[in-house]
Every structure is written in structure tokens, then in C-alpha cells.
A and B are shown apart, each in its own frame.
Chain A
Amino acid sequence: MAMHRGRGFASINYPIGMNLGGDPSQALVHSNPDGKFTVALSSIDLGQGMKSVTRQIAAETLGIPVADVYVDTADSDTGPHCMGSFASRGTHRVGNAVIQAAQEARAVMLEAAAEELEVDASDLVTDGRGNIHVKGAPSRSITTMAACQAAQFKQGRTVSGRGIFLIPLSEVDPETGEMTPVSCFAHAAMLVEVEVDDETGEVSVLDMQSAYELGRALNPKLVEQQLIGGAWMGMSHVLWETTEPYYPDRSHGPVDFNHYLMPGPGDLAPHHISVLERPAPDGPFGGKGPGEMCANPVLPAVANAVYDAVGVRIDELPITPEKVLRGIRANGGARPKMRLARAR
């Protein structure tokens, strides 16, 4: 009876968004009487950072401080339409829609400022700190708040903008089978090291090394947070979680958190992450977003590492001790593949 170490590798080519009848998202941006801006979206933030990232994108495009932007995702019934926060599409699709809406709103804001300053709107720039001034003449300036208030209370215009980003439906060519369902891919690679106990069948993940290519990391801390949390989800999927365990009868399945197994605090293996930033040509400021991909590579990498450790190829998740032991028995014993590492 022994512990066997194994290493497994997996790499991912991950499509951003989906292609079921076209993939649009809309955004509406408008200024409020206090000169701050509201971005209305139906793209729900479920903890991944949708609000933070669209807020940054809107502020950057409008040329105003992040603190002056409020993102409202309150109600998907009344807000501008979005396909949803799924398919790793949020940053890319919604971000692009926000840029378009913010550009339109910015143009009106500059026109309003131009009217107040009696200059040409094309000569105006924003300083990102809440001021608009004439290019090369910072003293001829007006605050964004004053410009937005003048628009609303004197000039009678709305400082607002509409945005939509659409990846149209790609039909399959009946002759060649060709299609272009996706415009943008993210990538990941992961190497994991596991230890398998050939007596109990238990698998422990000892170490994870990963590299993620996800366009420009628009908010590096949020990216890191997603990659850490996602790796935990990946570990959980590959070794613990299932609603349909391999038991004689469905009634033995989990009905609550006592029986639905997940790793607990401190169970995540040390995870060494490298983020490669290759700005996407059609992404908002080059961003693609980590999305679902942050959990994906863990699963095949662990399955490969188990094969490397004891020679058991498991193709049904999760990799439970029972499946590992049945595999070892079917093979007539553990058959480690990684002779070199074992000799170490």
C-alpha cells in the first residue's frame, strides 16, 4: 500500500460568449442633475465584478473619475436588454456596449461644455478628474458637473448615450460545415500535482501552476480573485461535487450540505498563477475576461494526474475514491506512469 504522485496537464481554448441566435447586450448611460453618471444595465453582478468593470469602462470612456459613475443593474425587466451574465461574455459584450453608450454621452457633454465656453467641441478634452478644458489651454475650463447641469437646466438637452454590442448569428455553411460562432478566445494552461492513496483511493491535489491569457486584465485584483475562486470550484467539481453519486439508488443522493461534498477552507492547493495580457482587438480596452475558464482546466489536469499517478483513466466526474479503487483493482494494481518523478 503506497502513496503515488502524479502530474497532469491541460490547456484550454475558451470561446468568449455564445452563438444561439445572435449575442447582443445593451447599455444606457445618462448624467444626473449632480453631474454624475448612471450606467443602466441588465447584466447582473453575481460576484464576478460586472459592476466594477463596467464602472471603470464607463469612467474611462467618459473621461471622468470612477467615483462619478454609478452602475445600476437593478431590474432586467425594465433595464436595457442583455443576454445575461454567462458564457464568460460579460466584460467583452457588455463592456463594448458601455463604451458605445458612454461615447455618445461624452459627445453631448462636450457639446454642452463647448456652448458654455463658446468654443468648438472638437477642441475640448477631459482631464479624468472632473474637468473639461480647451486643448492646450487648461485655464479655459468647466467642470463636468457644470457642463451636465447647463445641458439639463439651460440648454435643454439630455447628456445620454445608447450602446449595443452584437455578435450576429453565424449560420453553418451547408457545403463546408464552416461557421464563425465566436470572435474572441481566451486561453489557459494548467499543471497539477496530485497524490493518490492506493489503499483508500483518495486523491489530494498538492499544487497547481497555471497560466491564463485573458486579454487585458481590466481589474487585475478582480481577475486574481476569480482565478483563485474558480480553481476551488474546479477542484470541487473534479473531486467532490455531484448530485448523482454512484450509488445503487437515487435516494442515497445528497439532499443538503451535509451530504453534498465540497472542499472546505484551507483545502485549496497552493496555486501559482501567471496572467498573460494579450489585448483582444475587439475587446473593450482589450479585455476578454476570465469567466468560466477559471474553473475549467483543473478538471482535465487532475484526471490526467490521476492517470499518471496510478494508471487509472477516469472519464466520469467526480473522481471519487471508489472509482479510483475500482480502476486500480481492474488493472490488477496501481501502475504509476511517472517513473522519473517517483525515483526522485
Chain B
Amino acid sequence: MAKKPVTFMLNGSERAAFAEEGLNLLEFLRRAVGDLSPKYGCGQGTCGACTVIIDGETHLSCLTMAEAVQGRKVETASGLANGKVHPLQEAFMEHFAAQCGYCTPGMLMSAKVLLDHNPSPSRAEVIEAISGNLCRCTGYEPIIDAILATANTRRLA
């Protein structure tokens, strides 16, 4: 199968790897690039575990072609901590918002894009923002609380 080089920015640094034709971004990131933070939950766009940020917007990497990120900026959960853990990660820990943790990288991506666009979201807006991310463990409440708390702390800071 034909392989195409894909060059893109991953969490602030330039990366290049070969993608087989038709390979999706999730498999590309995990296997070709070696970033294991986006998770495979369903492979068909229904669970949100594979959520990444492309040019500032959330995308389901299982439904995105690898070639589509050529020349674009991709962010994943593994790039969130920059020297120290990101305030969202801190809040997820504080509020016990992860149990098995499988949904967490996707949740963090959805939460980050929400707060980047809307620094003071309402509870309903938080719920809307993570409505495409399934969680089997937490009952969602601790996740909602953690995202609201991050927005609050930022407002006070």
C-alpha cells in the first residue's frame, strides 16, 4: 500500500511520519507517531475516547484521515502538561474525575476547547461540551465539577 509522508505540529513540535493510505489519525498517532494518549474506544465516532484538538477545535481522531493533518496543529492530552500539570489535570485529580482513566484524555481535550472558547461556562455548557465523551466509571459528576472548578480558579487568578 502506498505510504504518504505527513508533516504536522504535535503539541508544539514539528513531527513527520508515514501514513498508509486510508489510515485514520488515531492509528497514525498511536502507531506511527507513538503518542498513546488518544484512546481507541469504538472506532466509529460514538465514544469520544479518541478526541484530539486540530487547529483549536475538537475532532474524533478515529474518523479523521491521517493525511488531513498535513501542515496543521494537533494537540493531544500528552501535550497538556507543560513543565507542570495543566490546571485541568490538576482539577481532575482534585475532584477524583478519573477512575479507570480510559475516557480521561478525550475528556481533557473537550474540556480544554470549551474553556479556550468560553472561560466561564455554565454547568449546562460543560455538559454539552462533554456530551460526546462516554464515561463508564465516574457518573460524570466529578468530571463536570472539575471542569467548572478549573474555570472558577482561572477567573479568580
CA A257 – CA B133 in complex, angstroms?
11
Which residues of A lie under 8 Å from residue B133 when comparing CB positions? Answer: 265
Residue of B nearest to A224 (CB): B96
**Total count of chain A residues near the partner, CB < 8 A:** 24
At the interface, yes or no: A168 with Cβ under 8 Å from chain B? Answer: no
Contact of B138 with A225 in the complex, beta carbons under 8 Å: yes
With contact pairs A256-B42, A257-B47, A257-B134 given, residues A47 and B99 touching in the complex (Cβ less than 8 Å): yes
Residues of the A chain whose Cβ atoms lie less than 8 Å from the Cβ of B135 = 265
Give Cα A181–Cα B81 distance, bound, in whole angstroms: 49
Contact of B140 among A46, A221, A230, A266 (CB under 8 A): A266
Given contacts A225-B142, A257-B46, A257-B47, contact A265 B130 (CB under 8 A): yes
Q: How near does chain B come to A92, taking the closest CB pair, in angstroms?
A: 20
Would you call A232 and B139 a contact (CB within 8 A)?
Answer: yes
A232-267, CB under 8 A of B: which get 1 and which 0?
A: 110000000000000000000000111000101111
State the Cβ distance, A93 to closest chain B Cβ, in Å.
20
Q: A232-B140, A265-B140 are in contact. Are A225 and B96 (CB under 8 A)?
A: yes
Task: Flag if A225 contacts B143 (CB, 8 Å).
Answer: no
- Interface code B88-120, partner A: CB below 8 Å = 1, 0 otherwise? 000000001011110000000000000000000
**Taking the nearest CB of chain A, how far is it from the CB of B48, in angstroms?**
9
Cβ contacts under 8 Å, A229 to chain B: 99, 137-139
**A266 in contact with B42 (CB, 8 Å):** no
CA–CA, A17 to B16, complex, Å? 51
- Complex Cα distance A46/B101, Å? 9
A49 to B137, CA, bound (A): 12
Instruction: Name the CB-closest residue of A to B127.
Output: A266
A334 within 8 A of B: no
A314 within 8 A of B: no
Residues from chain A with a CB closer than 8 A to the CB of B78 are none
B14 contacts chain A at the CB level, 8 A cutoff = no
A interface, by DSSP: helix, strand, loop or mixed?
loop
Whole-angstrom distance between the Cβ of B93 and the nearest chain A Cβ: 11
Q: Is A338 an interface residue (CB 8 A)?
A: no
B77 at the interface (CB under 8 A from A): no
Contact B123 A266 (CB under 8 A): yes
* Contact A266 to B46, CB < 8 A, known contacts A225-B99, A232-B139: no
Interface string of B1-33 (1 = CB under 8 A from A): 000000000000000000000000000000000
Known A232-B139, A265-B130, A266-B127; judge A258-B99 contact (CB<8 A): no
A233 to B125, CA, bound (A): 23
Interface residues of A (CB under 8 A from B): 46-49, 221-222, 224-226, 228-233, 256-258, 262, 264-268
**26 A–B contacts, CB within 8 A, in A order:** A47-B137, A48-B99, A49-B99, A224-B96, A225-B99, A225-B142, A228-B138, A228-B139, A228-B142, A229-B138, A230-B139, A231-B139, A232-B140, A232-B141, A256-B42, A257-B47, A257-B134, A264-B127, A265-B127, A265-B135, A266-B123, A266-B124, A266-B127, A266-B144, A268-B139, A268-B141
